[in-house]
Amino acid sequence: MPGQGKRRRRQEDARQRLAARTAPDAGQWEVVIETLDQAEMRTRLRRLREAGVDESMIRIDTLCGRLGVPTTYRLSRFMADPARELEHEHSDH
């Protein structure tokens, strides 16, 4: 199909940019909430969005339960290392 290669390259570029932004040396994932209640997790997610948090910096992990262990939801956001952010700002100028 026409344009398919261009779209794939654009998607791959976006994945690589996100991987660079969330690399281990760029900061760390901070757990916002870990709960058994999916509605509570959705409420917290909505609050993060309303606060203007970049959605690409939010991660939802679903820890699948088994017979004796219920499913757990973990909402995390990536917190950039402040020193690296300052370094990045200075390199832009």
Over residues 34-70, the pLDDT tens digits come to: 999 999 999 999 999 999 999 999 999 999 988 888 9
**Res. 72: pLDDT tops 80:** yes
d(CA 66, CA 41): 20
d(CA 64, CA 71): 5
The percentage of residues in the chain with a pLDDT greater than 90, rounded to a whole number, is 48
Burial class (CB in 10 A: 0-12, 13-18, 19+), 44: middle
The percentage of residues in the chain with a pLDDT greater than 70, rounded to a whole number, is 88
Q: What is the 3-state secondary structure (H, E, C) of 25-89?
A: HHEEEEEEEEECCHHHHHHHHHHHHHCCCCHHHEEEEEECCCCCCCCEEEEEEEEECHHHHHHHH
